[in-house]
Amino acid sequence: MRRTAPLLAVTLVALTAQAVMAQSRFARSMGVAALPQAASETSGSANPIVVIETTKGAIKVELYPEEAPKTVENFLKYMDDGHYDDTIFHRVIGRLIIQGGGYTPELQEKPTRKAIPLEASIGLQNARGTIAMARTASKDSATAQFFINVGNNKEFDRSADNFGYAVFGHVIEGMDVVDVISKVQTSRRPPFDDIPILPVIIEKVRRAQPPK
């Protein structure tokens, strides 16, 4: 029986050819969006820091519960439940994004909880190194899948004619790992358009430090 393509699997984030062209223009620019001050640089900051352990290396990410509370709570709940362990980056698009957190290495989609409201009106931009929630074309449809911006993707930000995609943190260590993943060879394997030929596995997502 032919497997029906799940909507979230085939909709990066409603990526279009126009978006790819726009990304190329922004990648050539040197401007990088301002981000909240890192926890290590902020006196008394309690921002959670998580480690995404992959077969290509570790990526350390600071999350922004003040700016995106529902999104961070949702991500941490999936993390604590072990949802992300032994999943893959199933969409890798060059200098654009790497996306994962929804499929096993056998390409089985993992069950998710109810979708969360979009928190993309908070002013954070989809700049290089930020992490954001993937969703379908529907505004409030994000569940577990996330992506890391490899380039400065302004076309993913909220605007008058675009719901945008919710940024909820940024990479503080391991951007070199993100870059390595972004350069792996990919192929089209319906319903996946940009899936790595050799799986890039998310072995575990954990807190960098136990919660107090």
Give the CATH number of the domain where residue 161 resides.
2.40.100.10
Does residue 149 carry a pLDDT above 70?
A: yes
Does residue 72 carry a pLDDT above 90?
A: yes
* 199, part of any domain: yes
* 182, part of any domain: yes
The residue range of the domain holding 74 is 7-26+46-207
So what's the pLDDT on residue 99?
Answer: 98
Are 164 and 158 a contacting pair, CB within 8 Å? yes
So what's the pLDDT on residue 26?
Answer: 35
* 36, part of any domain: no
So what's the pLDDT on residue 15?
Answer: 47
Task: List the single range of 31-35, 135-139, 167-171, 180-184 with lowest mean pLDDT.
Answer: 31-35
What is the Cα–Cα distance from 199 to 68, expressed in whole angstroms? 30
Does residue 154 carry a pLDDT above 90?
A: yes
Q: How confident is the model at residue 160 (pLDDT cuts 50, 70, 90)?
A: confident
Residue 180: in which H helix or E strand, if any? helix 175-182
* 178, part of any domain: yes
**pLDDT 10s digits, 83-131:** 999 999 999 999 999 999 999 999 999 999 999 999 997 679 999 999 9
How many structural domains is the chain composed of?
Answer: 1
Conformation bin of residue 40: beta by default, left when phi > 0, alpha when psi is -120 to 50: alpha
Does residue 29 carry a pLDDT above 50?
A: no
Does residue 16 carry a pLDDT above 50?
A: no
* 37, part of any domain: no
So what's the pLDDT on residue 55?
Answer: 98
* 33, part of any domain: no
* 59, part of any domain: yes
Q: How confident is the model at residue 140 (pLDDT cuts 50, 70, 90)?
A: very high
* 2, part of any domain: no
| Mean pLDDT, the chain, integer | 84
Q: How confident is the model at residue 6 (pLDDT cuts 50, 70, 90)?
A: very low
What pairs with residue 187 in β-bridges? 195
What is the Cα–Cα distance from 62 to 71, expressed in whole angstroms? 13
